[in-house]
Structure 1
Amino acid sequence: MIVLAIHTAGPACDLALLKDDAIIAEVREEMTRGQDARLPGLVEDLLAKARISLADIDRFAVITGPGSFTGIRVGVAFARGLALAANRPCLGVTLLEATLPSGQQGSALVALPAQKRPPDITFWTQTFRTGVATNLASEMRLEDMIVFLNDRPHMLYGDAKSLRAHLPQQVHEATPSAALAARIAAQGDPSERPARPTYVRAPDAALPQTK
């Protein structure tokens, strides 16, 4: 099975190709805007690296968020468009699922920075048990996460720099990637992983409401 995965929910365009159980090609370009213009070219570069065509892809995967509102929207729409054109399934993977390292055992909390400006410091979070999500991705305030971890100890994965500044728990550095999303999608059921945006909250910039 060949899976093409796309991640534009963060400050980059990150793409990966998985064949069977091996990542055979990856491309990544740092950017916070203009993903829609770059994605077609990056897909071409990725396929050229692996020497395969779009028709060889068995599944498409996309990181659905939470994260950059515009990046999520662009990535999901583009991945779904490719899948529709190729008549192949497109599977959604959350940002936190695509952060947790493969083979994790026990209870884990994945946390990535959402709001960094005090006093509203928040994190995108999701809990897992032996690699399987036990809740939906959500936004958690720092003080609530401290209480949660004190009451229910979990292994903590995510952005170590931001987490260690506020938490005494050991933090395992982990970053989201298209490669991890591809591995998850290869094992997933398309009917249980719709490629729909996981926004969690409303966008910061909203259209003015009409009276």
Structure 2
Amino acid sequence: MLVLSIDTSGPACDVAIVEDEAVLAEAKDEMVRGQDARLPGLVDETVRAAGVTLSDIDRLAVVTGPGSFTGVRVGISFARGLALALGKPCIGVTSLEAALPTGQQGSAIVLLPAKRRPPDISYWAQRFRSGDAVTEPEEIGLDALAAELKAHPHFVYGDGLVALEDALGGANIHPARPTAARAAVIALRADPDKMKASPVYVRAPDAALPGGKRP
């Protein structure tokens, strides 16, 4: 099965073509904004590098967040539109699922930074058991997270976790970031009816409308 996968949920535009867990081609441009302008060209370049055409694609995968509000919208809109045009299913994978390494065993928690500025440090979090998600993504504060991990140890994977390492006194934390390639591998075996490409925001966006109102 051939999967085209997209991740614009973070500070990059990331595309991969995967066939039966083998990465045929992948490309990643680091960028905080402008994914909407770069994504179509990057998809075209990656498809060409893989030596396939869009009509060869069996399904699409897209990282659905949590992450950048605008980035999540860009990736999902593009992936769903392309899937509709091709008549193929589109699989949604959370950014936390897309960061968990293949073959992980035991209890694990994946964490990505939500609020980075002290004292309001928080993380997006999702818990797993032998690779399967057992909770939905949520936002959790540093103190609550540190208390949970001290009471119930987990394998910890994620990015931007220096503050957590300090709070836990040097806990064994494994660096991990979401990738389009990992999302594609998950999508290979996913049920399209159960993993739909819908945005996972967890909380309201930080942007405000004129007058200070939240959207």
Quote the Cα distance in structure 2 between the aligned partners of 1:167 and 1:79. 39
Q: In 1, are the aligned partners of 2:159 and 2:175 still within 8 Å (CA)?
A: yes
TM-score of the aligned structures, taking structure 1 as reference length: 0.96
- Give the equivalent residue in structure 1 for 2:192: 190
> Quick one: distance in 2 between partners of 1:21 and 1:119?
41
Return the alpha-carbon distance in structure 1 between the equivalents of residues 132 and 207 of structure 2: 33
SS in 2 for 1:136: coil
**Aligned-partner SS, 1:98:** helix
Query: Match of 1:106?
Result: 106
Alpha-carbon distance in 1 for matches of 2:161, 2:94: 22
Q: d(CA) in 2 for partners of 1:161 and 1:53?
A: 39
Aligned twin of 1:48: 48
State the Cα distance separating 1:172 from its structure 2 match.
Answer: 1.0
**One-letter code aligned to 1:195:** A
State the 1:151 CA deviation. 1.7
The answer to whether structure 1 residue 175 and structure 2 residue 144 are counterparts is no
Structure 2 residue aligned with 1:153: 153
**Partner Cα separation in structure 1 for residue 161 and residue 149 of structure 2:** 18
Partner of 1:124: 124
Partner of 1:29: 29
- Count of residue pairs the alignment pairs up: 210
Aligned position for 1:68: 68
Q: Equivalent residue for 2:58?
A: 58
Query: Which residue does 1:89 correspond to in 2?
Result: 89
Residues 78-126 of structure 1: CA deviation (Å, up to 9, x unaligned) = 0000100000000000000000100000000111111011110000100
CA distance in 2, matches of 1:205, 1:149: 32
C-alpha spacing 1:161/1:146, structure 2 compared with 1 (3 Å):
closer
Answer yes or no: is the 8 Å Cα contact 2:113–2:160 preserved in 1.
Answer: no
Residue identity (%) = 57
Distance 1:39 1:206 in 2: 26
Point out where structure 1 has 5 or more consecutive residues left out of the alignment. Answer: none
| TM-score (norm: length of structure 2) | 0.95
CA shift at 1:161, angstroms?
A: 4.9
Any conservation in 2 of the 1:59–1:83 contact (CA below 8 Å)?
yes
Hey, what does 1:201 align to over in structure 2?
Answer: 203
Matched position secondary structure for 1:165: helix
Gaps of at least 5 residues in structure 2 are none
- Alignment of 1:115 with 2:115, yes or no, is yes
Runs of 4+ in 1 over 4 A off after TM superposition: none
Alignment of 1:9-28 (within 5 A): 9-28=9-28
Aligned CA RMSD, in angstroms, stands at 1.3
- Once residues 182 and 166 of structure 1 are traced to their aligned partners in structure 2, the CA distance between those partners, rounded to angstroms, is 34
